Structure 1
């Protein structure tokens, strides 16, 4: 006869994957600020201490989520056209960052040294080097492109746009501000198309980057 054990129920099997999934549930429901060992443990129905076998505290949870999201980034195959290649990478990055809007700031701000974190960096550098940028210049230009993408996406997911939001009341406030430049541009300041803003910013940055490479090559 098999003896039935009495007492506390068995702890569910934990893995890094199940912990990441639980952390995303917390973020999707209550935002990044709600993430902690206890809140994630509650979702999993385990003691918070058991999570330390898989992640190193709250920072470990946040890094694991960022790595998971970046790990799902599908980078496009290079087409040999620097402008098209950089645009394709930027849009792939945006699509993955917005897969879980509440977690997007993690993808955009966590400093990751893992392969997941370095893959987009390598893809951009490869395009810049192939376009003729020397190694040091390629790094400078990479940082310009990343700053543009990250800044634009952070505004998209973390806050309402400055003086924008498709709000008629906002437009009325702007038009009555008495500030000449604000009044003249009020209809446009009161509108915000997220995808159009991203494309405009990225295209502007890519144009400047490629022009700088061409200028360096002409010297």
Structure 2
């Protein structure tokens, strides 16, 4: 029996970073719904109450998972060409979000105030400001770019409509359904969805629009 006041085995190594990693493991193994103070504490071999010194309940755990994924973005070094820099940021964000499919929706839907979460925001705003955007305009452009990136990735993660599918047999069935619905001309294209190609198109469209606006 442990002495009164002595921390349980594993408590000495408890930290926000360790909690992040454990919460991510629970997310990947059991899904977002399984993340909780008890499930994460079991992974760490500590009492659930000890987690409250580092995170504020389940919401804090979910934020920690999102932070853990965002910390892996690996922000690219700007090269001074607006379109190239914005594309690089968008693709880096996609790689980080999809590296942990079970956690992707957390990264894309939670608003985090931490320095880890704000680092990509600061980097994009810096690029926009150097390209000539005024402070308010830079924020509007940032939000528009985020809407495009997050919307595309939510669709890829299965949380948004794509109208098309990826499996060959399903594509044929979907094309037939769309043709029957009066969309014969576009059915061959609407029936299939290549997420990477769609993301590339959206990123090019958005970055070129931003560059054109700032050149006016």
Q: Is this a same-fold pair by TM over 0.5? A: yes
Q: Which protein shows a greater Rg?
A: 1
User: 1:59-208 maps to which residues of 2 (within 5 A)?
Assistant: 59-159=59-159, 161-167=161-167, 168-177=169-178, 178-181=180-183, 183-208=184-209
Native 8 Å contact 2:104 2:157 kept in 1: yes
Native 8 Å contact 1:163 1:170 kept in 2: no
Deviation at 1:153, TM superposition (A): 0.7
Change (3 A) 1:122 1:179: same
DSSP-derived class of the 1:108 partner: helix
Change (3 A) 1:51 1:74: same
2:46 matched residue in structure 1: 46
TM-score (norm 2): 0.88
Question: Which runs of no fewer than 5 residues in structure 1 stay unpaired?
Answer: 1-5
DSSP-derived class of the 2:22 partner: helix
**RMSD of aligned alpha carbons:** 2.0
**Aligned mates of 1:184, 1:62 — CA distance in 2:** 44
1:11 matched residue in structure 2: 9
Q: Number of aligned residue pairs: give it.
A: 209
**Aligned mates of 2:46, 2:144 — CA distance in 1:** 44
Deviates more, 1:139-148 or 1:192-201: 192-201
1:50-95 deviation digits (Å, cap 9, x = unpaired): 2112211011111112222222221111111100010011111111
Moved over 3 A (4+): 6-10, 158-161
TM-score (norm 1): 0.87
Native 8 Å contact 2:27 2:103 kept in 1: yes
